[in-house]
Amino acid sequence: MNLFTILVGAAVLLAVYAGINFGWRYASRKFLFPCPSWLSWSLEGGFVDWWAATSRTLDRIGLKAGDRVLEVGPGPGRLLIPAAARVLPGGEVVGLDVQQGMVERLKVRATNVLNLSVRLGNAQEMPFAAGSFDVVYLAMVLGEIPQREPALTECFRVLRSGGRLSITEMAADPHFQSRATVTRLVTAAGFTQPEFIGRRFSFTANCTKP
Ligand SMILES: C[S@@+](CC[C@H](N)C(=O)[O-])C[C@H]1O[C@@H](n2cnc3c(N)ncnc32)[C@H](O)[C@@H]1O
């Protein structure tokens, strides 16, 4: 195999990867087309904790003891399981995921985490009473939700007044949402102007329900 063949092969693989990402991103604007639960393994373990900076993301979200917290789209619990420890004593965390497979996987991984519960449901219509949470957060999820406006209106509804919405986006995610898009969506839902922590292509946006 010569250098030319290797370069052509690499270019073809890159083009296929880019095509899949592009297609998936745009399909998600019209249809519910989430990260499939058979890929949950890719969101578990030390390597993803390193590249997606799990601990630093939780620092940026800023949880504290006693908080009642909702993660929308927790997948297998990369963030939600360690979040449960951060709200002790007295706090509890809840995950809401649209896929049964993710819910089941999270339940298995969090069997011994007594202050964590998980519900099956859609961000666009949440099964929680108004004002139920101190903090609602989403990480690498917003772009997977076809109707993002109603989902953020639901985040607003289930937060208490003064509660915090936190959105983490990373450019490595095919569904990455820019700072401008996040600002437009959260302010339209009634939240304050977001404070951004991190870089342009890997950030957490924190805002408040007035
Ligand atoms: C890329 S994974 C991210 C998982 C986790 N937040 C993390 O950062 O490791 C996206 C998750 O969001 C969930 N999801 C996508 N659309 C959703 C919706 N409309 N309502 C609730 N969960 C959703 C998917 O099922 C999946 O578990």
The atom number, within ligand 1, closest to the CA of 71 reads: 6
Residue 185: CATH number of its domain: 3.40.50.150
The atom number, within ligand 1, closest to the CA of 146 reads: 19
Confidence at 148, pLDDT banded by 50, 70, 90: very high
Contact 205, 167 (CB under 8 A): yes
| Same domain flag for 104 and 37 | yes
| Same domain flag for 187 and 116 | yes
Percent of the chain with pLDDT over 90: 77
Domain ranges, residue 161: 32-208
Confidence at 35, pLDDT banded by 50, 70, 90: confident
Identify the CA nearest to 168 among candidates 190, 143, 148, 151. Answer: 143
How far is ligand 1, taken at its centre, from the CA of residue 9, in Å?
A: 33
The CB of 96 under 6 Å from ligand 1? The reply is yes
| Same domain flag for 22 and 56 | no
Q: How far apart are CA 93 and CA 91, in angstroms?
A: 7
| Same domain flag for 39 and 25 | no
The atom number, within ligand 1, closest to the CA of 34 reads: 15
Confidence at 102, pLDDT banded by 50, 70, 90: very high
Per-chain mean pLDDT for the chain: 93
51-67: pLDDT as tens digits: 899 999 999 999 999 99
- Which pLDDT value is given to residue 108? 97
| Same domain flag for 46 and 121 | yes
The CB of 102 under 6 Å from ligand 1? The reply is yes
Number of domains in the chain: 2
- Which pLDDT value is given to residue 17? 75
How far is ligand 1, taken at its centre, from the CA of residue 3, in Å?
A: 40
Q: Is the pLDDT of residue 95 over 90?
A: yes
The CB of 147 under 6 Å from ligand 1? The reply is no
| Residues making up the chain, counted from first to last | 210
